[in-house]
Amino acid sequence: MSLQELAVSLQELVPTYLKSAVTNLINIMSVAILTRIFIAAAAVFGGLSVAGGAFASHALKNQLTDRALAIFETGARYQMYHALALLLVALLLSRAEQSQGFFAASGWAFIAGTIIFSGSLYALSLTDIKWLGAITPLGGVAYILGWLSLAVAAWSFK
């Protein structure tokens, strides 16, 4: 099976209603607006990741346990990874003639994943409220959906 055939197969797996919902989202929000939103969110997430990492390594180092500090740093690291991924999505979205819906879905999933995954890790490390750890996997699922959407979009990128 060629890569092109695999891409077509992957796109056929996506339910028609989901494709139309994503297409409607793109029609409502222009590509230019989505690109600006994604770039701005990436910049904010990236800046906050650097600030959070610096804050953790200096101000929180003596305030948190080693475990809590490691949890906080994991949140900051994944936030930076996905800030950079969101920049890539914005660039690809601005250049895409097709698959704009999948690029948009990827960007929104990265935003949701960052808020849920990293946000819950920050809250968990600072408050030690254990049930917050149960929320974190939902952010991980959003990240995974974002990467899968990006992969589907990439196969039909023109």
38 inside domain: yes
pLDDT in tens, the chain (158 residues): 665 665 566 566 666 656 666 665 655 568 889 999 999 999 999 999 999 999 988 888 889 999 999 999 999 999 999 999 999 999 999 988 777 889 999 999 999 999 999 999 999 999 989 999 899 999 999 999 999 999 999 887 77
Q: How far apart are the first and last CA of the chain?
A: 21
Q: What separation in angstroms does the CA of 90 have from each of 11, 72, 85, 133, 139?
A: 21, 27, 9, 30, 20
Q: What is the pLDDT of residues 63-83, one digit of tens each?
A: 999 999 999 999 999 999 999
Domain that residue 48 falls in: 31-155
Q: Is residue 1 part of a domain?
A: no
Evaluate whether residue 112 is within a structural domain: yes
Q: Could you tell me the CA-to-CA distances from 114 to 67, 150, 152 in Å, in that order?
A: 21, 16, 21
**Residue at 17 is within a domain:** no
Question: What is the total count of domains within the chain?
Answer: 1
